[in-house]
Structures are given as structure tokens and as C-alpha cells.
């Protein structure tokens, strides 16, 4: 299939040089690039991050959200 696209001049020069260094035609370089773009999984796929679970010691005091926020907002912190 034939199509027409506009390529920025600096990118076109880089592609032309790359094709020459690799012994490819521009057509084959573009085909390879498109194949890579289509075959590579999308980077927008969201993955859940696995964070380690750190359990508190049994002697750790239980604090409510309100107590934590109050400590963060006070000048003294947790005492």
C-alpha cells in the first residue's frame, strides 16, 4: 500500500543515514520501525506496583487518622 506522510527534515536525514549504515532502503527501515511500534506493548498499560507489606510490632500504638493528622499539623509531633 502506498501512502504519503510528512517527516521533519532532521528526522528524515537521521533515517536516511541509519538506513545507509544498516544497508537498508528507506522503505525497509520504515517498515521495520512500524513493525516495532505495532508489536511493542503499549506503555500506557497500567500495572499495579507491588510494595512490601511491613507489619507493625505488637507494642506499636494504634492511631486514628485524626491523631496522625493532628500530629503532622502540630509543632510538637507525636510525643
> What pLDDT score was predicted for residue 61?
82
Poorest-pLDDT segment among 2-16, 25-39, 58-72: 58-72
Read off the pLDDT band of 40 (50, 70, 90).
confident
Report the alpha-carbon distance of residue 33 to residue 2 in Å, rounded: 16
d(CA 13, CA 20): 11
> Is residue 20 over pLDDT 90?
yes
Tell me the percentage of the chain whose pLDDT exceeds 90.
51
Q: How far apart are CA 16 and CA 76, in angstroms?
A: 65
Amino acid at each position: 500500500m502506498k501512502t504519503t506522510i510528512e517527516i521533519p527534515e532532521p528526522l528524515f536525514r537521521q533515517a536516511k543515514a541509519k538506513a545507509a549504515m544498516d544497508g537498508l532502503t528507506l522503505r525497509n527501515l520504515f517498515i521495520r520501525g512500524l513493525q516495532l511500534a505495532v508489536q511493542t506493548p503499549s506503555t500506557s498499560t497500567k500495572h499495579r506496583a507491588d510494595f512490601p507489606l511491613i507489619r507493625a510490632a505488637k507494642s506499636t500504638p494504634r492511631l486514628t487518622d485524626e491523631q496522625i493528622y493532628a500530629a503532622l499539623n502540630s509543632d510538637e509531633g507525636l510525643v
